[in-house]
Amino acid sequence: VNDLLVKIRNGSFRAIARAITQIENSDDAAMAIVSKLYKDGGHAHIIGITGPPGAGKSTLVNELAQLFAANGEMVAIVAVDPSSPFSGGALLGDRVRMLDLSNHPRVFIRSMASRGNLGGLASATAAVVHVFDAAHFDSILVETVGAGQAEVDIANNAHSTLVIEAPGMGDDVQSIKAGILEIADILVVNKADRRGAMRTAKSLEMMVDMGQAIGFGHHMPLALRKEMGETLASQTWRTPVLQTVANKGEGIKELYDVIGSHRRYLESSGEWRAREENRSRREMERLLQERFFASFQDVVPEAVRTDLVKAVVRRELDPYGAVNHLFERYKR
């Protein structure tokens, strides 16, 4: 393991690939690796990219990565698919499209699929991000298929969150979930070569204007940030709406520049620290939940849990009462 860690710190792609496989296969391996490497990280800009399937996220990420690499940066792409329990599966298309990057010396691409439980995938993704960070990658692009909670988890794991939309996916303002706007630092209308792009962009602009008043664009509610003693009054970020044609490389340079501006904004406003704190807290809480539940499963036999489920179905017991039983059993 120590040999592996040294190689990761030196940026060996093979060592990184091996570490990621170990993380995917076992929580204990993830713990062993992250506990040794964590102190080496803290420099990478973690960029989350989310949005509905087919919006062009992978194409866009591919283009962005090439630009990062052309500027001498080390860049990692992590494509996460919470909807697919099969390794590869839905992401195979991504792999094929990303082939032109697969041999680039400064670009590392990895896809991760769910093994059935979302929490596990989120934790594994966070661990993989720590590995890239320790291996001195400058930017880590995390692509997730928009699937509700997963988007929010990604946003909580990223410094900057890009939400990619495409025209014709319902131009109604209502069809674009408010939750999405809440997590977006940068909004992108991709497929700007298609009809209705301008209209989608205008709708988004309007929603940004409305949301601005209630503190969207920050992961933490305004009240909480005030509580933390931050003085953000003079510095605010207005979520920009950009248009791109990813498959033709149009608008990518502008997007790249805006991502850089957002990083500088985070650093100069104090928001970077606030987000680091938010990220760390979420990650710890998730790990704690996983640990508690694993410990619970160890202590209380499956048969006991099944019996209680049956009792609830028969209405001999209510769900709260059943959980009381389970909890008492656990504490004994």
| 124 contributes a contact to ligand GDP by CB under 6 A | no
Nearer to ligand GDP, 92 or 228 (CB): 92
| 245 contributes a contact to ligand GDP by CB under 6 A | yes
Nearer to ligand GDP, 133 or 165 (CB): 165
For residues 138 to 177, the per-residue mask of contacts with ligand GDP, x marking binding by CB under 6 A and - elsewhere, is ----------------------------------------
Other beta carbons within 10 Å of 228: 13
Nearer to ligand GDP, 193 or 307 (CB): 193
Q: Tokens for 185? A: 């630092």
Write out the E strands in the chain: 45-51, 75-81, 107-113, 139-145, 160-165, 186-189, 241-243
Q: How far is Cα 293 from Cα 303, in angstroms, rounded to an integer?
A: 16
| 59 contributes a contact to ligand GDP by CB under 6 A | yes
| 88 contributes a contact to ligand GDP by CB under 6 A | no
What residues line the site for Mg ion (CB under 5 A)? Answer: 57-58, 94
Nearest Cα to Cα of residue 241 among 279, 207, 281: 207
Give the number of C-alpha atoms closer than 13 A to the C-alpha of residue 39, restricted to the C-beta side. Answer: 3
Sign of CA dihedral 71, 72, 73, 75: positive
Name the binder of 55 from Mg ion, ligand GDP, none, CB < 5-8 A by kind: ligand GDP
| 53 contributes a contact to ligand GDP by CB under 6 A | yes
Which residue among 157, 190, 243, 269 contacts ligand GDP (CB under 6 A)? 190
Which range touches ligand GDP (CB under 6 A), out of 10-18, 169-177, 191-199, 203-211? 191-199
Residue carrying the six token digits 């009240």? 223
Residues 6+ apart with CB under 8 A from 178: 207, 211
Nearer to Mg ion, 57 or 159 (CB): 57
Name the binder of 53 from ligand GDP, Mg ion, none, CB < 5-8 A by kind: ligand GDP
Phi and psi dihedrals of 102, rounded to 5? -65, -15
Binding-site ranges for ligand GDP (CB under 6 A): 53-59, 93, 190-191, 193-194, 245-247
